Amino acid sequence: MTKATNITWHATTITKSERRIQNAHGSCVLWFTGLSGSGKSTIANAVSVELYKNGINEYVLDGDNIRHGLNKDLGFSDEDRTENIRRIGEVAKLFVDSGKVVTTAFISPFQSDRNQVRELFDEHEFIEVFVDCPLEECENRDTKQLYAKARRGEIKGFTGIDSPYEAPENPEITVRTKDISVEEAVDQVLQYLREKQII
């Protein structure tokens, strides 16, 4: 729903295609989704480092960071998570328009929200990366001690405990972080980008 009236879309003079030609590579969003502790941030950042080292224009949008600024008015109710993902999707679209390969690291637990984001993009621009890791393993890692808090009832509505996570139905990439190393996961993602001739 657009609240404002009397607004007109202005196409920019320099286009996305021109930015891609100048960069000599494509632009897309690698949308990492998975449970807390599955490895989204670790892999998204490691992918970005490799891209950066290879002269690719990249940027990381990370859940915790965005919630400190742009989305600090949002909590973890289903509605707030949906709005969180909607806004990030719009931000990611701007980055893709600017010619970058953007990695995002949000739990994004609902398939319908991820589908809505996909709809914002042209074909092949939205790459859903399922960071697949069993809850038990995420809970063992518990890097931020949030699962322990959730189990003690100190956090309500924690994803995987008392709030749902809907695994992607048809992701472009699945990385199984219980079985492979960070380096192997990064290689898997970069291989996909090369195959699709984005980089």
Ligand X SMILES: Nc1ncnc2c1ncn2[C@@H]1O[C@H](COP(=O)(O)OP(=O)(O)O)[C@@H](O)[C@H]1O
Ligand Y SMILES: Nc1ncnc2c1ncn2[C@@H]1O[C@H](COP(=O)(O)OS(=O)(=O)O)[C@@H](OP(=O)(O)O)[C@H]1O
**Cβ contacts of 139 within 8 Å, gap of 6 or more:** 37, 147, 160
108 binds, among ligand X, ligand Y, none (CB under 5 to 8 A by kind): ligand Y
C-beta neighbour count of 171 within 10 angstroms:
17
C-beta nearest to ligand Y: residue: 63
26 is in an annotated binding site: no
Q: Dihedral through CA 12, CA 51, CA 93, CA 62, nearest 10? A: -130
Residue 25 or 40: the one with the smaller Cβ distance to ligand Y is: 40
* Full DSSP string of 42-92: HHHHHHHHHHHHTT--EEEEEHHHHTTTTTTT--SSHHHHHHHHHHHHHHH
What is residue 132's three-state secondary structure?
strand
35 is in an annotated binding site: yes
**Is 139:178 a contact under the CB 8 Å cutoff?**
no
92 binds, among ligand X, ligand Y, none (CB under 5 to 8 A by kind): none
39 is in an annotated binding site: yes
Could you list the residues that contact ligand Y (CB under 6 A)? 36-37, 41, 63-64, 67, 76, 81, 84-85, 106-109, 144, 146, 155, 157-159, 163
38 is in an annotated binding site: yes
Q: How far is the CB of 17 from ligand X (least distance, A)?
A: 33
Q: How far is the CB of 86 from ligand Y (least distance, A)?
A: 10
User: Known catalytic residues?
Assistant: 108
Annotated binding site, which residues?
Answer: 34-41
Annotated binding site for ATP, which residues?
Answer: 34-41
